[in-house]
Amino acid sequence: MMDFQQDQEVMEAFVDETRDRLVELETGILHLEHLDGASVEEVVNEIFRAAHSVKAGAGLLKLHSMERLSHWLENILGRIRTGEIRPDADLVTALLDGIDVLRDLAENVPDCADVDVSEHMISLRDALELARARRRKV
């Protein structure tokens, strides 16, 4: 079992890593709307890995709120990657909002473990459904 000092060091490393991954996510998502074809695929692959890293780290540390929210981001990015949906303005906004929430949660580790993020997950779900509907119309 880790002592408090080790726990603190692990949490600090997670927060530092998460900050970096969230910058990657934000930068990539801001570019998505303006890309097409192979460029989208390359960017999505990179930011998908960043979302997965945040989710995995949060899961290991039992930061359930961060894990759930980053899972939604990862899920949506996976759907963009497969071509099921396209990254339109509404979806990009919802993803960026999710990143902002993750950033706030990361700054409050470990107290963020069970913060209610259901409202943000609903926003992501709604943006996903809207993107699906738009894709079906094309």
Its pTM stands at 0.88
- Residue pair 55/72 in contact by the 8 Å Cβ criterion: no
- If you average pLDDT over residues 6-23, what whole number do you get? 91
pLDDT (tens digit per residue) in 102-136: 999 999 887 887 899 999 999 999 999 999 998 88
pLDDT beyond 50 at 13:
yes
All structural domains of the chain, each given as residue ranges with its CATH number in brackets, are 4-137 (1.20.120.160)
What residue type is assigned to position 21 of the chain?
Answer: R
Average pLDDT score, the chain: 89
The whole-angstrom separation of Cα 134 and Cα 137 is 5
> Using one digit for the tens of pLDDT, what is the confidence trace for 18-46?
999 999 999 999 988 787 777 788 889 99
Question: What does each C-alpha distance from 57 to 83, 88, 109, 117 come to in angstroms?
Answer: 27, 29, 12, 17
Is the bond preceding 110 in cis, omega lying within 30 degrees of 0?
A: yes
